[in-house]
C-alpha cells in the first residue's frame, strides 16, 4: 500500500508519496489532492523521490490532478522524478505539461512564488 503524507502550507500543499506508483497509489494521491483543494490548496508539490516505478494509472492521475488544479488557477509541481519515471512521463507525453524539478527545495521555491503571484492577482481583482 502506498504511503502518502500531506503538509498544507498556505495555499499550497507538499505531498510525499512512497511505494509503487500504481492504481492504488493513484487513488490515494487523487483523494489527498482533492481534500487539500477543498481546503484551499491551489498548488500541489508532489515529492516522488521515494518512488522508483509508476504505471499508466499513476501517470494519468498526475495529468488529471494538473487539469483539476489549472481549472482553479493552480498548478502541480513534480519533484525528484527517477530516470525511469521521467522516461515514462516523456513517453506518455505528460512531461511537458507538468513542471518537473530536481529537488524539494526548488519545488518549494516555485510553489511559494506561484502562491504569492496568485494572491497578488486575487487582490488586484478585488480592487
Quote the domain boundaries for residue 9.
3-126
Domain of 63, CATH number, reads: 3.30.750.24
Q: What pLDDT digit, counting tens, does each position of 8-26 carry? A: 988 899 999 998 899 999 9
* Residue 98 binned pLDDT confidence (cut-offs 50, 70, 90): confident
Instruction: Provide the whole-model pTM.
Output: 0.87
Cell, residue 78: 513534480
The residues that bridge with 54 in the sheet, in sequence order, are 21
**CB-based burial label for 96 (10 Å; 0-12, 13-18, 19+):** exposed
Counted domains in the chain:
1
- What value does the mean pLDDT take over residues 56-74? 91
Rounded distance, CA 110 to CA 112, Å?
5
Angle at 111 between CA 15 and CA 93, to 5 degrees: 75
Q: Which region among 3-7, 51-55, 84-88, 103-107 has the lowest average model confidence (pLDDT)?
A: 84-88
Amino acid at each position: 500500500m502506498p504511503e502518502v503524507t500531506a503538509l498544507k502550507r498556505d495555499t499550497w500543499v507538499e505531498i510525499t508519496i512512497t511505494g509503487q506508483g500504481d492504481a492504488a497509489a493513484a487513488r490515494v494521491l487523487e483523494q489527498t489532492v482533492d481534500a487539500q483543494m477543498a481546503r484551499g490548496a491551489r498548488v500541489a508539490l508532489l515529492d516522488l523521490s521515494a518512488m522508483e516505478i509508476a504505471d499508466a494509472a499513476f501517470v494519468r492521475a498526475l495529468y488529471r490532478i494538473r487539469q483539476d488544479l489549472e481549472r482553479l488557477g493552480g498548478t502541480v509541481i513534480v519533484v525528484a522524478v527517477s530516470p525511469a519515471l521521467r522516461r515514462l512521463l516523456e513517453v506518455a507525453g505528460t512531461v511537458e505539461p507538468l513542471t518537473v524539478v530536481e529537488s524539494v527545495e526548488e519545488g518549494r521555491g516555485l510553489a511559494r512564488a506561484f502562491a504569492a503571484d496568485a494572491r497578488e492577482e486575487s487582490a488586484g481583482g478585488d480592487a
